Structure 1
Amino acid sequence: MLLLKNFKIYVYGLCVALCCGLASYAQEIPPIQIFTPQDYNAEDQNWAISQSDSNFIYVANNRGLLEYNGALWKLYNSPNDGILRSVKVVGDRIYTGGYMDFGYWTKNNKGTLEYSSLSKNKNFSIREDEEFWGLLHVEGFVLFQSFERIYIYNIHEDRFDIINSDYRINKMFKVGETVYFQKTEVGIFKIENGKKILILPEDAILGYELVNIFPLAHGLLMQSKEHGFYKFENNSVSKWEIPSDPLLSTLSVYSSIRLADGGFLLGTIANGIIQLDASGAEVLAIDQWKGLSNNTVLSVFEDSYGSVWLGLDNGINLVNLKSPFRVYTDSHGVLGTVYAAAKTDRFLYLGTNQGLFYQAIDSNVPFKMIDGTKGQVWSLSMVQDDLFCGHDKGTFIIENTTATQVSDIIGTWGVKPIKGRPNLLIQGNYKGLNVLEKNDGTWQYRNRLQGFNISSKYFELLNAHEVFVSHEHKGVYKITLDSNYRTVKSTQKMPVAQGVKSGMVKYNNDILYSNRLGVYKYKASADAFQKDSVLSALFTGDKYISGKLFNDVVGNKLWGYSKSELVFVEPGKLSSEPEINVIALSSEVRKSKSGYENILYLGPKNYLIGTTDGFLKIDLDKVKERPLEIHLNSVNYGAYPDQMSPLDLSNTEPLRNKYNNVRFNYSVTNYNQLSTSKFQSRLLGFYDDWSDWSTESEIFYKNLPYGEYTFQARALTDGVLSKNIVSYVFSIKKPWYLTPLAIVLYVVVVLLIIYVLYFYNRRHFKKQQLKIIEKKERELALEQLESQRQLIQFKNQNLQLDIENKNRELGMATMNLVKRNELLGNIKEQLANSKSMPEVNNVIKLINKSINNTGDWQLFEEAFNNVDKDFMKKIKALHPSITASDLRLCAYLRLNLSSKEIAPLLNISHKSVEVKRYRLRKKLELDHDRSLSSYIIEL
């Protein structure tokens, strides 16, 4: 019988689990952010989580303490390389407990954590292999719990009290300012005045292991590991009967917390997390199948923003419970990309590239495809309470879960009613426009509008007979229809630029056309589209991603899409100007098909946005502006970019000039998975303008010049500026070559150089002056020498002239003398032949006397010396033995006279002259082959 009972319980639990699994398959969940061990660079298991006043997250990991500042994870290895099991932030201290050690971490001025052990050098010793699994803070005390002891640390007095246990302490709990703990096989105790007091024996709770204890108005609410909740009131224990009891009986809960809204969040060993409301009803169940990275939840923590952090057996997950978004992800590719959505009283419909799917309203059953609708769905339109499906195969009317095809003309973009003609609809398709007609309550294809065959993806009716059609590549056309809606009477190409991913919509009776260049409103008075400056500013330029606009008729909103935002416009409450509302939701997060974005009104302030893998739901009431605080986490500096050191943020000493590479790290604690934070920075003193917005949470300045600087940074999250601007003032010293001492040295060196240059220039000038003087003197001397030379030359010329004249005179006199003597000789010879005449002898004597006249020689000698004055001296000096007669012969030879010419001068015969010449040669001791005349002339 007992075996049968257990089997029934097992089957019931299995059924509940299967139902849960099926429900989870189609459940919409909050955004989940997954951090893998590779992301935070530590080990898989994460045992406890806490948060500081600055909203930094701290996690006890197998390798040590993890810190997350919203941008970066940082690991601080445990002091003894043991596993950290617990963490709790108290003020500016982060207390941790682990393997055979506990203590606290504090942040130094460099922005890094330093550890101080509380279990070393105390008046107690840690037991062998003791680990500290629990950590609580109560009114100036921090309690560390192992399986054997509870260490109570008085923060103000820096002392310990220890509670020992001879039984295993399973867990420690804090309720208000009272601490409770459970001892295996003994019961529940509370600590009062440092002592343990048993308040509930083990059998009172049926021996169940407790996971947590929560406060009740008049007692305690105890949550067991596998058997749900129990109330302890008025000294009695009773089961808290709640709607989720069947589910809880199938689960093994390892961790839990009470949420700020009064509900509960349970972390299980094998089923992820379960959220319960304050009444105990299930709100949400998320496991690995639906988005968690692991099903074993070792720790849960609700942060100051209402998000829940999960320390898993493999990783860390962040669940944004307070997010205005809920996410449905088709992780198995069943739905495909959502192109359209619609809602009736009973069903939610999704038109995708796979077909048309439906799901019952407020149910968690999976979406199911409506038979016959497989293929591309383009649109879903509710007209006169009929749901039309525009499909690649034609047009369908959807009634509950049945599709009825009313047109097999391929490629229906959409259908629109005609004002005043309730039995007719205009249908846009791949080849133009068609007309549907309602006969006997049934819609059916009637005709094609002849005369227009351009694809009509976007079309709007200006009135009953005028239609605007927008084509991405061909532009905008205004067509006029005949009264019977059979043909197109006229087609007018509108003078407005076409554009890829352009759109057209009718909003508040205005026809709007949008493309990359702007949003244009049709003005009937001008029969033209005119640019709307207000709407254009929202979607054009760098913001543009698609011209698709959506008219929310029920909510009276115009929706549009930009790269980083979802925008809706609604009429102004107090003026004619529209109200602009911006929801920060980037295109990467939306994951909508560009050009085919779609949004569906679900109810007041609630909308559905189709994505490429499911949809998002948004609750506008939960969209709140939340300015965050930006933190300057660290400043690093160094001489080289790859050799940086943390800077003491309290240090006001200027940096040495060579350490002029500075990196700033900053962050905001934005833990919203669908949100993006951007940063701006500037460095006053270097560049005073703010930088462009960037998602990078650090900036690096390289090779800064010396000077005073103020670094500033701010953040923008979901369009909201951070509530503060971080600043850091620092300075960089001048390089050594610009210090005052160096400048003095430069002045001295410059003065010395000036002096040296002055001295050198002066010396050089003097040298140059001396050179000039010397040059002038030389020039003057040369001039004088030239003058003297010219004078001497002139004198020499005069002398030469005199010599030449004298030579001529000498020559003439010599020749005259020669001729006279010759004449006298001739006369003498003739007279000698007439000796008979006594007078002849007297004449001959007179002639001989005249020929041998020494006076003539003396005159000749004087003239010869005037012409060649040194000759006589030189030859006498060389040949002192020569006689006056020899000198006379030498003089005649000097004048280059022949022997024949010399003979008359000497009054001797020619032969006698030769004899004299011979004798002279001997006296001069000339060689035989040497000419006497040549020797005399050359001498």
Structure 2
Amino acid sequence: MKLKFQFLFFLLFSLNVFSQELLPFVENFTKSNYNGDNQVWSVTQGKDNAMYFANNHYFLRYNGVKWERYSLPNKTVIRSVFAHNEKIYCGSYNEFGYWKRENGIMRYYSLTKDKDFFKDASKNEEIWKIFELNGTIYFQSFNEIFIYNNNSIKRVEVPFLISYCFVIDSKIYVASVNRGVFEFDGKNFIYIKKWDAVLNNVIHAIAKNNNEIYIFTLKNGVFVEKNEKLQPWNHPINEALKSEVIITAKFYQKNKLVLGTASKGVYIVQMDSGEFININRNNRLSNNSVLSISVDKENDIWLGLDNGISHIEINSPFRIFSDNTGELGTVYSIAASKNGYLLASNHGVFTYENKSLKIVPNSQGQVWNVKKIDDNFVIGHNDGTFLYDFKSYRKINPLNGGWQLKKDLYHDRYIQSNYLGLAFFENKNDFSQYKRLNTVYRPIKDFVQTGQYEIIASDSYRGLFKIKYNEKLELVSYLNLTEKNNIKSDFGVKIFKYKNDVLYYINSEWYYLDGVTDVLKKYELFNQNFKNISEVIPIDDSSFAILKGGLFYIINQSNDHFSWKLIPKKYYEGKIINQETRIFKFNEHYLVNLDDGFLQFESNKNNFINQKVEIEAYFNGKILDDEANIPNNQSLTLHFVSEYFGNKKSTLFYKLNNQSIVPLTDGKLILNNLSSGNNSIEVYFTNGFEFVKTGEFSFTVLKPWYLSIWMIILYFAIVGGILFLYYRWNKVRYQEKIKLKEEELKHHRQIMELEMEAENKLKLQDYEKHILEMQVQSKASEVAGKSLSIAKQSEMIESIQRILEEEKNINTVKTKIKKAIKSNAINQREWENFEKNLIQSHEEFVQKLTNTYPELTSKDIKLSIYLRMNLSSKEIAPLMNISYRGVELHRYRLRKKIQLNSEESLSRFMINL
């Protein structure tokens, strides 16, 4: 019977090894992360909270942000590390010593240099374990123990081959290879006879829990001391462990055990309940061979693997179920079953019970909702509505795309929103009978009852609608609220019922509805606290969740104040389902649907934990002190190092130079293009209500070289030189300008003199011209006098003619005529002078006239001169020795020659010519 039980357990155990479990978050680090070797032989946490690893040829340090890699001076393989006070002790091949952190880097100090510890038979020793007891450090190889105390080292040879040493209740137990266990008192090795049961076994761990000592053998399982007698551990897992290879084991907290195996990963056992989980390469680990185990200050587990490092947040309230096979798909709804959960995904309906995931037969396809009603599950499927009771899965109605199924708040019935609108089920025991609201033929994704016969619903695409119906489920009215309120952008409206209020999130604004006027009014309390979110998720009457900026928050309210609990992004990064994220509460557990699984946490309350954060600044790979100076236009790398690695490590935020607070994504920040002068960066975390400052780093960015003090002095010298040269140049230029001005004045004076001389000449010319004009006028007067004289002679002739006519005595007439002729002969010369003077006095006019009208005769010119002198025809007649009529005739002919219009005055023409 016992053999049968063992066989069944092995069968169950083998199934569990490949099952899918709800597991803690596991963070894996590979060689590409830490840039080291494969095997990690030892792990320890230093007083500075950093984790240290023995990684073959490398000594690794990890502070949660940055990996550091070092080598021993002799480049040998490192087998062990151990943290004590400020030092990290290190053991390797024919070497041991310690590391200390100085100026931001680890420096190694050898304890065996120039000492003859490793010679003859000991020349190939390796230090596989380091431990401490009462301030004394012990270095253990397979054949020797080195005791380091007060800067002195004592070497102790062991008379048998050691596997490892262990400290329990201030006693050192030395596990031999196949010869049992001995107690070491500092000098002697005393065999422990009561532990004969482990003779001929290789022992890889000895630990104490609840006053019981456990011995972990390599291939023969676990033994426990009870009543001073060592016997096999009475736990179902022990039979399975006998077929495993136990590499290492460690108790942590109370009644919790972690076991590392060579090929099946790690087992984490709850000692009081007997429950255990197996984390291996099939579900979380990157490698199945666990070489070392360490527990940090958060009681989380660090594993050194045959290839890599794993950090298991075993002490975190968060658990993750993830289907690595891809069979499950995206989870949209979760319901609690008797032994687990029922999951609705885009691949069908799945049961998750006893760490096993199975698809419900014939349920393949898109499933939106699963609702537990009594002992049945109503399934909203893409192909209709189905019923599942763990015995059968059957279609109960053709209503496809059932997004929501809610209890009617006013009647004993259920309401479903689906692809075609709303459906009512009067009998919860018979969902095959239903009634739809007539004419409401649109996909309704979510809805809320706001009255006995009133529903507010949101379309799957856009719009918010108020639907009224009567007791016969006949549609009374159908109102588009966003259209009525002139809200243009109404895509993806979210309905949120919180406490006694129904709120609507439309286009990044929160509203509530005035039921009388159907006016959507802004809800200021939520607009002040929850604008620009991407998702709001109900939890219960006192809490809800939001997605904002890619971060997931649980919100709890106290009066008008809200507490924000930030869920670390690493638990859901890349797995959140946009617009379909939901939270399901079962007992004290909260489940969030994700791609390929779900996230479980134990409480939605804000368990704020204060923490210390150090800011490490690096410039060109060297760490800087606070208030350090860095050159201009250079990059500064900042690491924000928390004292925690797991769940207690809060998401951090930073503020640079009093700018807005920005979240930190990975604890690392690179600053570029920093302005010169004093700079400061402050780091915060949130306690749910406000940002709490936890660290600050100040630094000064030096001015660029071209703005340094010496360059400024040089600039002043250059500017002074330029100003001096400019002054000298201006002075020379001024002197030249004065000379030029003097030359200019000299030339101006000369010009003035020339101008005055020219002006005098002009005046002289004007004077001479005036004299000439006076002479011309005199000549003209003379001509006029002659003309008058001639006129008088003409008159005399006329008077003589009258005498002749009057006188009858011929002798008397003859005598008088002779006298007149004699007088006329004397005046002939005067007439010739007259004509000559006449021409000379009008020489310019005559020349102009002859040039213009060359066909004019001398007689025409004389007439033109007389006309220019403004003489009348009567006055011209005697001057030309012709009659008055002859003058008129001659004037007519002259007008024709010069082609003068009859309307124009001939005299005026000659005057103006």
TM-score of the pair, normalised by structure 1: 0.73
SS of 1:289's equivalent in the other structure is: coil
Among 607, 616, 621, the alignment partner of 2:590 is 607
In structure 1, the residue matched to 2:622 is: 646
- Per-residue CA distance 1:392-440 (angstroms, 9 max, x = gap): 2222233244334321233333333434542x4333321222333339x
SS of 2:502's equivalent in the other structure is: strand
The 1:721/1:166 distance shift into structure 2, 3 A limit, reads: farther
Cα distance in 1 for residues equivalent to 2:352 and 2:189 = 56
- Per-residue CA distance 1:248-292 (angstroms, 9 max, x = gap): 323221011111233211111111111122448232221111211
Among 359, 368, 379, the alignment partner of 1:389 is 379
**Paired residues for 1:537-552 under 5 Å:** 539-541=530-532, 543-544=533-534, 546-547=535-536, 549-550=537-538, 552=540
In structure 2, the residue matched to 1:305 is: 298
The alpha carbon displacement at 1:67 in A equals 1.2
In structure 1, the residue matched to 2:793 is: none
Matched, 1:457 2:427: no
One-letter amino acid matched to 2:357: F
Among 412, 423, 426, the alignment partner of 2:415 is 426
The 1:68/1:224 distance shift into structure 2, 3 A limit, reads: same
Matched, 1:403 2:403: no
The 1:419/1:230 distance shift into structure 2, 3 A limit, reads: closer
Q: CA RMSD in A?
A: 3.8
Among 494, 504, 508, the alignment partner of 2:481 is 494
In structure 1, the residue matched to 2:833 is: none
For the 8 Å contact 1:13–1:250, the answer to whether it is kept is: no
The alpha carbon displacement at 1:301 in A equals 0.9
**Paired residues for 1:439-838 under 5 Å:** 442-485=430-473, 487-495=474-482, 497=487, 499-536=490-527, 539-541=530-532, 543-544=533-534, 546-547=535-536, 549-550=537-538, 552=540, 557-568=543-554, 572=558, 575=559, 577=560, 580-586=563-569, 588-589=572-573, 591-604=575-588, 606-620=589-603, 624-636=607-619, 644-647=620-623, 649=625, 662-668=636-642, 670-672=644-646, 677-682=651-656, 687-689=657-659, 692-695=662-665, 697-702=667-672, 707=677, 709-716=678-685, 724-730=694-700, 732=702, 735=705, 738-739=708-709, 757-759=726-728, 761-777=730-746
For the 8 Å contact 1:397–1:404, the answer to whether it is kept is: yes
One-letter amino acid matched to 2:695: I
The alpha carbon displacement at 1:767 in A equals 4.3
The 1:288/1:519 distance shift into structure 2, 3 A limit, reads: same
SS of 1:457's equivalent in the other structure is: strand
- Per-residue CA distance 1:469-514 (angstroms, 9 max, x = gap): 21143412212223222x2122122136464443335444543333
Structure 2 unaligned spans of 5+: 768-913
One-letter amino acid matched to 1:467: I
SS of 1:246's equivalent in the other structure is: helix
Cα distance in 2 for residues equivalent to 1:220 and 1:79 = 40
Cα distance in 2 for residues equivalent to 1:615 and 1:240 = 35
Matched, 1:71 2:55: no
Matched, 1:129 2:124: yes
In structure 2, the residue matched to 1:340 is: 333
In structure 2, the residue matched to 1:261 is: 254
Cα distance in 1 for residues equivalent to 2:647 and 2:758 = 112
SS of 1:468's equivalent in the other structure is: strand
The alpha carbon displacement at 1:162 in A equals 1.0
Cα distance in 2 for residues equivalent to 1:531 and 1:197 = 81
In structure 2, the residue matched to 1:435 is: 424
In structure 1, the residue matched to 2:264 is: 271
The 1:596/1:35 distance shift into structure 2, 3 A limit, reads: same
Give aligned pairs, total.
759
SS of 1:163's equivalent in the other structure is: strand
State the percentage of identical aligned residues. Answer: 24
The alpha carbon displacement at 1:51 in A equals 1.1
For the 8 Å contact 1:389–1:414, the answer to whether it is kept is: no
- Per-residue CA distance 1:135-189 (angstroms, 9 max, x = gap): 11233322211112111112xx311011112422111212244332223244433
One-letter amino acid matched to 2:646: N
For the 8 Å contact 2:565–2:605, the answer to whether it is kept is: no
The 1:568/1:706 distance shift into structure 2, 3 A limit, reads: closer
The 1:537/1:22 distance shift into structure 2, 3 A limit, reads: farther
Cα distance in 2 for residues equivalent to 1:538 and 1:283 = 43
Cα distance in 2 for residues equivalent to 1:219 and 1:419 = 58
In structure 2, the residue matched to 1:226 is: 219
Cα distance in 2 for residues equivalent to 1:785 and 1:648 = 86
Cα distance in 2 for residues equivalent to 1:256 and 1:99 = 24
For the 8 Å contact 2:640–2:667, the answer to whether it is kept is: yes
The 1:433/1:252 distance shift into structure 2, 3 A limit, reads: same
Structure 1 unaligned spans of 5+: 637-643, 799-939
SS of 2:310's equivalent in the other structure is: strand
In structure 2, the residue matched to 1:149 is: 144
For the 8 Å contact 1:628–1:722, the answer to whether it is kept is: no
Cα distance in 2 for residues equivalent to 1:308 and 1:528 = 57
The alpha carbon displacement at 1:531 in A equals 3.2
The 1:469/1:87 distance shift into structure 2, 3 A limit, reads: same
Cα distance in 1 for residues equivalent to 2:311 and 2:478 = 57
For the 8 Å contact 1:589–1:674, the answer to whether it is kept is: no
For the 8 Å contact 2:195–2:230, the answer to whether it is kept is: no
The 1:756/1:521 distance shift into structure 2, 3 A limit, reads: closer
SS of 2:41's equivalent in the other structure is: strand
One-letter amino acid matched to 1:646: K
Cα distance in 1 for residues equivalent to 2:443 and 2:27 = 42
For the 8 Å contact 2:632–2:674, the answer to whether it is kept is: no
Cα distance in 2 for residues equivalent to 1:247 and 1:237 = 19
Cα distance in 2 for residues equivalent to 1:374 and 1:349 = 14
One-letter amino acid matched to 2:246: V
In structure 2, the residue matched to 1:174 is: 167
SS of 1:245's equivalent in the other structure is: helix
One-letter amino acid matched to 2:136: F
For the 8 Å contact 1:629–1:723, the answer to whether it is kept is: no
The 1:144/1:481 distance shift into structure 2, 3 A limit, reads: same
For the 8 Å contact 2:184–2:190, the answer to whether it is kept is: yes
Cα distance in 1 for residues equivalent to 2:739 and 2:349 = 112
Cα distance in 1 for residues equivalent to 2:508 and 2:759 = 101
Cα distance in 1 for residues equivalent to 2:666 and 2:164 = 42
**Paired residues for 1:875-886 under 5 Å:** none
SS of 1:244's equivalent in the other structure is: helix
- Per-residue CA distance 1:631-690 (angstroms, 9 max, x = gap): 233421xxxxxxx3525538x8856x67855443443355338977344242xxxx4435
The alpha carbon displacement at 1:338 in A equals 1.2
